[in-house]
Amino acid sequence: MDNSLILSHLPHSVAYHASVLEMRQRPAPPEPGEIADAVCRAEREHARAVWETIHTARRLADDTATVLGRNVSVASFWSDEYPPALRALEEPPWNLFYKGKLPREAPRTLAVVGSRRPDAYGVRLVSEFLPRLTTRGLQVVSGLAHGIDSLAHHYATESGMPNFAVLGSGVDVLYPADNNELAARVLDSGGGLLSELPPGTQPRAMHFPRRNRIISGLADVVWVVQGAGRSGSLHTARAAVAQGKTVAAVPSSVFSELSQIPNRLIYDGACTVLRADDLDHLLQTHARDAIPANLAPQRQQLPLEGL
């Protein structure tokens, strides 16, 4: 078994230090010696818990190793096939489990994200803009969700663009299940399905924000098509900003709920896209200091706190 598989089963957060909880329960400030004793007890218990977690992860990794090779491959952070763009992330996925292919080091990668329930305007944006992109060697990344994600995969496949779906579940547990046919077309067109979660992992709400950082991490430009309130597309935009990626959006009616996120992103400094040519231009000059004046954001920080 590859020891790197153990990392996929370790929790992302460390348990709260028990000594702090003990100090809070005291009616009066403890003596220095009591503090030292509490810390030592907590350290011993923490160390025991860590080892138990590692042993559990090792057992789960053994289970994972048995399913690899059944149309599921794995690329660890240290392997040659691991996408270079993800190595630069603050929290890179230690392993990528995948079917088909992994995103290659292409000239340009476009992430397309948005609402699971787009209106006719959002559908038209994707159906008209994606097929018109002419950037050489372009590949598309999205999340295989209903709505904008599915449209992105569909039109990228129809246009002959390699496209890749980053999942919030194991690659053998497709979600939503009714996108099985679309997933098959993604694979048949030379793309791939990938996830940092081991095979067999069921989709859970907590998985998707972490999934989104991989979508933006693979991209040069993140196009947020539509989104309302605190949708997943906002998580992806925030991740993109933190990673120093270019965020793009198309303006729309201020009276449309689905325009809340794109319009706010533009207000906060995202690049305004009015036609497919603008996306092409951003993809070809995606570094912020290379963006022409008519596309350059007025506010570079994209604070996003108001959303």
Q: Are 40 and 102 contained in the same domain? A: no
Q: Are 260 and 111 contained in the same domain? A: yes
Q: Are 46 and 80 contained in the same domain? A: no
Q: Are 144 and 51 contained in the same domain? A: no
Last residue of a domain, one of 27, 45, 67: 67
What letter represents residue 49's amino acid?
A
Looking at the domain assignment, is residue 191 inside a domain?
A: yes
pLDDT of res. 181: 97
Q: Are 22 and 58 contained in the same domain? A: yes
Q: Tens digit of pLDDT per residue, the chain (307 long)? A: 665 565 566 554 433 344 555 555 656 655 666 666 766 776 777 677 767 766 666 766 666 766 776 788 988 888 899 999 999 898 898 889 999 999 988 789 999 999 999 999 999 999 999 999 988 889 999 999 999 999 999 999 999 999 999 999 999 999 999 999 999 999 999 999 999 998 888 999 889 999 999 999 999 999 999 998 777 788 999 999 999 999 999 999 999 999 999 999 999 999 999 999 999 999 988 643 343 334 333 333 555 544 5
Range of the domain at 35: 4-67
- Report whether 108 contacts 131 (CB < 8 A): no
Of 178, 11, 211, nearest to 97 (Cα)? 211
Angle at 88 between CA 8 and CA 138, to 5 degrees: 100
Q: Are 24 and 84 contained in the same domain? A: no
Q: Are 118 and 215 contained in the same domain? A: yes
Number of domains the chain contains:
2
Looking at the domain assignment, is residue 297 inside a domain?
A: no
Pairing outcome for strands 95-100 and 73-76: antiparallel
Q: How far apart are CA 138 and CA 36, in angstroms?
A: 58
